[in-house]
Amino acid sequence: MLPVGIPVITGAANVPWLRKRGLEAVAPLDRAWIDVGPGSGVRVALCGADHSARPMPHRPNGANGHLVVTPSARIWVAGDTALFDGLSEIPEQAGGPIDLALVPVSGWGPRLSGGHMGPTEAAEACRRVGAARAIPVHWGTLHTPGGRAHPRGWMDRPGPEFATALEAAAPQCVPMILEIGRPTPLEPTTP
């Protein structure tokens, strides 16, 4: 659904698979930074992630997160991942403190499979990267067909549960629970 010519920044293992599907896949070498647009001051780089517990047989399994650095903010987009040892190195890779973390807080069912984080693990990830603010993602938007067997409201709970877990694990990090389709202003925290 991406317009032709829009680059997809991904890990090297994913490039051939994406290109076969008509996407302009780009793999930065050794987590190098890519300038998004001349003069924009926006750069993107891959960072670590661990989604190895649940490999997919029909596609490559190169998992990574993304760092987006703008003139006013450093953003960590965790991607599908479990907690992993390299989390505390992400601020150094970003060139300073993480202003905003986008962290997954749920999976595809009421029980979390490997390679994912629930609200408690996502709060711990925010603590490890020292994020100033965090937006929980991967919850509240997908209600699977046949989900009647799942407990009522299971997909709507992880966001608020993340806010509670964040208060305990990383009280310096401000949770931002977004409503679907609603923009939220983000004041810069990076000097």
CATH number of the domain within which 69 lies: 3.60.15.10
User: Residue 127 domain-assigned?
Assistant: yes
Question: Is 180 domain-assigned?
Answer: no
Would residue 6 count as lying in a domain?
no
Q: What is the CA radius of gyration of the chain?
A: 17
Q: Is residue 167 part of a domain?
A: yes
The pLDDT confidence band at residue 140, using thresholds 50, 70 and 90, is: confident
Check residue 185 and give its pLDDT: 79
The mean pLDDT value for 177-189 works out to 78
β strands within 17-70, DSSP E: 24-26, 34-35, 43-47, 65-69
The predicted model gives 154-163 an average pLDDT of 84
Q: What is the pLDDT of residues 11-59, one digit of tens each?
A: 888 888 888 888 888 877 777 898 887 889 999 999 988 877 666 667 7
Does any domain span residue 89? Answer: yes
What percentage of residues in the chain have a pLDDT greater than 70? Answer: 81
Give the span between the Cα atoms of 8 and 25, in whole angstroms.
5
Identify whether the C-beta of residue 134 lies closer than 8 Å to the C-beta of residue 92: no
pLDDT class for 190, splitting at 50, 70, 90?
low
pLDDT greater than 80 at residue 119: yes
In this predicted structure, what is the pLDDT of residue 120? 94
Say what angle helices 158-169 and 119-129 make with each other, to 10 degrees: 40
| pLDDT value, residue 110 | 56
Does some domain include residue 11?
A: no
Which of the two residues, 6 and 120, has the higher pLDDT score?
120
Residue 107 scores a pLDDT above 80: no
CA 143 to mean position of chain CA atoms = 20
* Res 152: pLDDT: 67
Q: How many domains does the chain have?
A: 1
> What is this structure's pTM?
0.85
> In this structure, is residue 49 part of a structural domain?
yes
* Displacement of CA 5 from its chain's centroid (Å): 23
Q: What angle do CA 155, 158, 163 make, to 5 degrees?
A: 155
**134, part of any domain:** yes
Where in the sequence is the domain holding 160, given as residue range(s)?
A: 34-175
Q: What Cα–Cα distance (Å) separates residue 36 from each residue in 33, 42, 175, 183?
A: 9, 6, 27, 22
Which of these, 87, 132, 84, 81, lies nearest to 105 by C-alpha position? Answer: 81
